[in-house]
Homo-oligomer: A and B are copies of this chain.
Amino acid sequence: MINLQCDYLEGCHPFILQKMEEANLNKTPGYGKDEYCRSAAEKIRQACRCPHADIHFLVGGTQANLIVITSLLRPYQGVLCADEGHIACHEAGAIEATGHKVICLPSENGKITAAQVEEICQMHFESPIQEHMVQPGMVYISFPTECGSLYHKEELTKLSQVCKKYCLPLYIDGARMGYGLTSRKNDLSLADIACLSDIFYIGGTKCGALFGEAVVIVNPDYQKDFRYLIKQRGAMLAKGRILGIQFETLFTNGLYFSICKKAVEQAEILRAAFLRKGIQMYGESSTNQQFPILTKKQADYFAKKYIYETWRPFDQTHTIYRFCTSWATEQQEILMLLEDIENMPLE
């Protein structure tokens, strides 16, 4: 069986394990105050062209989201988010458990627009009974989105502007950041991301690490006391260096980008192959996740050799499925799948 179910099936890029082994018996201070973390943070600051950013290494994405959002909001504020957003759907109420409402906006192709943010803010702040409603307190987006699409520079710039207008921090969930930045459709650099947002995280778990997400706090207004919240929410790793070592490795010689780029190219080829067969694709993913819309018969055909994810029903006779590539997907797996797409039943 070839497993393309998700992008966290394996361990980590071999360079990371090698570095961990070399460092294994070195004694370092705990809680992320070690040399590996310092060096990794410096490399990320350089990659972001953001010398004054604060960098914190956390273990996972839900953890990063809940800590960042708790840190940014006042108790009566909520976070604006696409209705398909990860925090709205797949974090078991982690944000609500910190006391904050996730305010869902209808999304198209996984994205929300500056106009939507403008509208909800205007409506809220002009209402005579605004204090009876949750105050919009920040904007959360994902890059890439849940369905693999990308905000383009123009869209992100507009979002950034409307956020500034209403004093809402803009936070970008970059669980799959590497796959977004290396897409051929992408026109944003890491420096652009840093310039247009207040805070974001660079995902490691899905992009070559064993685990780990690097939170980048660009806006100095939000840097104060962040480590308290990391500790309080149970996210301060005693041996923090394991995070430092991983990101240090990924941000040396562009490893993070090269391994993600390969996966995105593999996914592009799959997408093209499905489209060539007339298969409709859900969303406009130009990254490592592809969502063919298949009949049961077609799905069963692939199920003989492939493990994939059932995304959600599409219509009476079709379902959306997800095929994922990753830094670890092998070229021959893709070639076999291409052949099978070529021969797939047409309905």
Per the bound structure, the CA–CA distance linking A134 and B135 in Å amounts to 23
Complex contacts, A206 vs chain B, CB 8 Å: 238
Complex contacts, A90 vs chain B, CB 8 Å: 129, 132-133
Contacts A17-B20, A76-B92, A211-B238 given; does A233 touch B131 at CB 8 Å: no
Complex contacts, A71 vs chain B, CB 8 Å: 75
Cβ-based interface call for A227 (8 A): yes
* Number of residues of chain A lying within 8 A (CB) of chain B: 75
Interface segment, A6-14, A140-148, A298-306?
Answer: A6-14
Interface segment, A55-63, A149-157, A189-197, A276-284?
Answer: A55-63
Q: How far is the CB of A32 from chain B (nearest CB, A)?
A: 10
Q: Contact residues of A with B, CB < 8 Å?
A: 3, 6, 8-12, 14, 17, 20-21, 23-28, 30-31, 59-67, 70-71, 74-76, 78, 89-94, 96-102, 129-135, 205-206, 210-211, 225, 227-239, 241-242, 328
Complex contacts, A31 vs chain B, CB 8 Å: 129
Q: Is the CB of A237 within 8 A of B59?
A: yes
Copies of this chain, whole number: 4
The 3 tightest CB contacts between A and B, nearest first, are: A63-B234, A76-B228, A11-B24
Q: How far is the CB of A128 from chain B (nearest CB, A)?
A: 9
Q: List 24 A-B contacts (CB under 8 A).
A: A10-B27, A10-B239, A11-B242, A59-B59, A59-B237, A60-B237, A64-B234, A65-B234, A67-B234, A71-B75, A76-B225, A78-B93, A91-B132, A92-B131, A92-B228, A93-B101, A97-B233, A99-B99, A130-B228, A131-B231, A205-B239, A206-B238, A211-B237, A211-B242
* Interface residue from B74, B229, B236 paired with A62 (Cβ < 8 Å): B236
Per the bound structure, the CA–CA distance linking A167 and B133 in Å amounts to 30
Complex contacts, A230 vs chain B, CB 8 Å: 131
* Interface residue from B14, B27, B89 paired with A9 (Cβ < 8 Å): B27
The closest CB in chain B to the CB of A232 belongs to B92
Complex contacts, A21 vs chain B, CB 8 Å: 17, 21
Q: Is the CB of B228 within 8 A of A135?
A: yes
Residue among A96, A133, A134 with max Cβ neighbours from chain B (10 Å)? A96
Residue among A61, A94, A132, A227 with max Cβ neighbours from chain B (10 Å)? A132
The closest CB in chain B to the CB of A229 belongs to B76
Q: Is the CB of A60 within 8 A of B238?
A: yes
Q: Is the CB of B132 within 8 A of A231?
A: yes
Q: How far is the CB of A176 from chain B (nearest CB, A)?
A: 12
Complex contacts, A27 vs chain B, CB 8 Å: 3, 9-10
Q: Is the CB of B63 within 8 A of A205?
A: no
The closest CB in chain B to the CB of A17 belongs to B21
Contacts A231-B92, A232-B93 given; does A239 touch B131 at CB 8 Å: no
